[in-house]
Amino acid sequence: MARSRRPLIAGNWKMNGLRADALALATGVADGVRSAGWSDREVLVCPPATLLAAVAEAVKGSGVLVGGQNCHVNPNGAHTGDISAEMLRDAGVSHVIVGHSERRTDCGETDAIVRAKAEAAWRAGLLPIICIGETLTEREANRTLTVLETQIKGSVPSGATAAKLVVAYEPVWAIGTGKTPTTAEVASAHAHIRRVLDGLMADAGAVRLLYGGSVKGSNAGELLAVGDVDGALVGGASLKADEFLAIAKAA
């Protein structure tokens, strides 16, 4: 079963990158992926919106995929400052992260909004990466599995199939902190996520579940070896081509 889920290593650049550095990073990743010649894993970079088209152009032909970090729920209209899934697609994008904890916290995105964004991604022909994860308070109160279940049930649209989404488990307390759950904790969360998905869709066994939160070259091997972990969503370590490629190599 695990082998049927092609690992996805996704880099979330967040609000980082001016044109020159970002293009150098994208080119570095593209060169590494091209020379590795991987056909058994996928490598995705998610630059800030201003650089999507330029990065898509820079990695063309390398096999590196390009994703957005967010989208609006509507295809167009009077939404000053927002970007639709259709616009992402038009910029050369194939994936979009929805419901990242930073957006849930900073922008008040609820499960219902995240779900609508995943539907918007489908409408535009994009693959949504739906993010979920518990806070430290929730973990310490032993509520991790309940929180994940609520988030999945609220954020995954009906009509989901394994080909139409990726789920990323990102404990909020592990993001950007250098802290990671134990491999046993990751295994338990991922197994639970798959069980919950199993109640919602026919082919939950084929859904790719990414782990995210302080993944780096030195811990990627052990995190990616956990059963039910089918890739990584990488923040800080995706801003250096060598470090990001080391994670992709570990997949």
- Of 182, 203, 193, the closest CA to residue 228 belongs to 193
Would you tell me which residues interact with ligand PGA (CB under 6 A)? 12, 170, 175-176, 212-215, 233-237
* Smallest separation, CB 12 to ligand PGA (Å): 4
* Smallest separation, CB 131 to ligand PGA (Å): 7
Could you say which of 109, 138, 170, 243 is catalytic?
Answer: 170
* Smallest separation, CB 5 to ligand PGA (Å): 19
Active-site annotation holds for 134: no
Active-site annotation holds for 170: yes
Q: Which is nearer to ligand PGA, 178 or 227 (CB)?
A: 178
Neighbours of 139 (CB within 10 A): 19
* Smallest separation, CB 98 to ligand PGA (Å): 12
Sign of CA dihedral 184, 8, 38, 240: negative
Q: Which is nearer to ligand PGA, 237 or 245 (CB)?
A: 237
Residue nearest to ligand PGA (CB): 235
DSSP line for 175-215: TTTS----HHHHHHHHHHHHHHHHTT-TTGGG-EEEEESS-
Could you say which of 100, 102, 109, 134 is catalytic?
Answer: 100
Residues shown for the chain: 251
Q: Which is nearer to ligand PGA, 16 or 74 (CB)?
A: 16
Neighbours of 211 (CB within 10 A): 29
Strands 231-234 and 95-98: unpaired
Active-site amino acid positions: 100, 170
